[in-house]
Chains A and B, each alone.
Chain A
Amino acid sequence: DAGVIQSPRHEVTEMGQEVTLRCKPISGHDYLFWYRQTMMRGLELLIYFNNNVPIDDSGMPEDRFSAKMPNASFSTLKIQPSEPRDSAVYFCASSSEVVGPYNEQFFGPGTRLTVL
């Protein structure tokens, strides 16, 4: 049973380049989340989708960041242009509609981004 799939696992790029991170949620899940993890700020929610529609993007740092979900099985997080302060681990997580008292989010393995 495949979990959340993210690619690439590691990305090293130079400042100013465009970076695209990819996520495949668990089949049947209708919520998808993008998080960023850094030592200084911990785990931060960037944006989440419900049924492919962005619901809350208040965590997106600035206009250089954009996220799309063209269909139920694929999402991208794009940074253009990238900056060294964007270096972090980016996680994608998915969940299904809450049917009980809590909503378990399943995390992917993350993409470690380094911007030189």
Chain B
Amino acid sequence: GQQLNQSPQSMFIQEGEDVSMNCTSSSIFNTWLWYKQDPGEGPVLLIALYKAGELTSNGRLTAQFGITRKDSFLNISASIPSDVGIYFCAGQRIDGGTSYGKLTFGQGTILTVHP
């Protein structure tokens, strides 16, 4: 199925550094979501964006919904060891006539933080 183009595929950083990852799509989405997956667990929602151009923060996380609605980025500031995991972007459309939005996921960014 269709996937979003997420980059980078992996990152190895030192504790305290900032991290940036992004997603692009050829399709427009109504909503962009960022999930984190810890080892051995399912993805957990970090941030949801639903307005083009919106910039949202959640603690050390900042995410933006691109103006064209075809891209989004996630920044993590002052990384700590527990930030380790896989980060996924996901795009969602709310189809006309229904209230359900199907999620399309990026390939994921594997983040490793060295103490």
Residues of chain A touching chain B, judged by Cβ–Cβ distance below 8 Å, are 4, 31, 42-45, 48, 50, 55-56, 58-59, 91, 93, 97-98, 101-105, 107-110
Tell me the minimal C-beta distance from B62 to chain A in angstroms. Answer: 18
In this assembly, does B87 line the interface, its C-beta being within 8 Å of a C-beta of chain A? no
We find that the number of chain B residues with CB closer than 8 angstroms to chain A is 25
* Inter-subunit contact B106/A109 (CB<8 Å): no
* Inter-subunit contact B41/A110 (CB<8 Å): yes
Tell me the minimal C-beta distance from A28 to chain B in angstroms. Answer: 16
Tell me the minimal C-beta distance from A93 to chain B in angstroms. Answer: 7
- Which residues of chain A are near B107, meaning CB under 8 Å? 42
Q: Which residue of A lies closest to B35 (CB)?
A: A107
Contacting residues of chain B (60-94) with chain A, CB-CB under 8 angstroms: 88, 92, 94
Partner of B3 from the list A42, A98, A101 (CB cut-off 8 Å) is: A42
Contacts A42-B105, A43-B88, A45-B103; A101 near B31 (Cβ below 8 A): yes
- Which residues of chain B are near A101, meaning CB under 8 Å? 30-31, 48, 50
Contacts A4-B42, A44-B1, A107-B42; A102 near B48 (Cβ below 8 A): yes
* Inter-subunit contact A93/B42 (CB<8 Å): yes
Partner of B42 from the list A48, A56, A97, A108 (CB cut-off 8 Å) is: A108
* Inter-subunit contact B101/A98 (CB<8 Å): yes
- Which residues of chain B are near A110, meaning CB under 8 Å? 40-42
**Distance of A43 Cα from B33 Cα, bound (Å):** 14
Sample 29 A-B pairs with CB under 8 A, ordered by A number: A4-B42, A42-B105, A42-B106, A42-B108, A43-B43, A43-B105, A43-B108, A45-B103, A48-B102, A56-B102, A91-B43, A93-B42, A97-B99, A97-B100, A98-B100, A98-B101, A101-B30, A101-B31, A102-B30, A102-B48, A102-B92, A102-B101, A103-B94, A103-B99, A103-B101, A104-B33, A107-B43, A107-B44, A108-B42
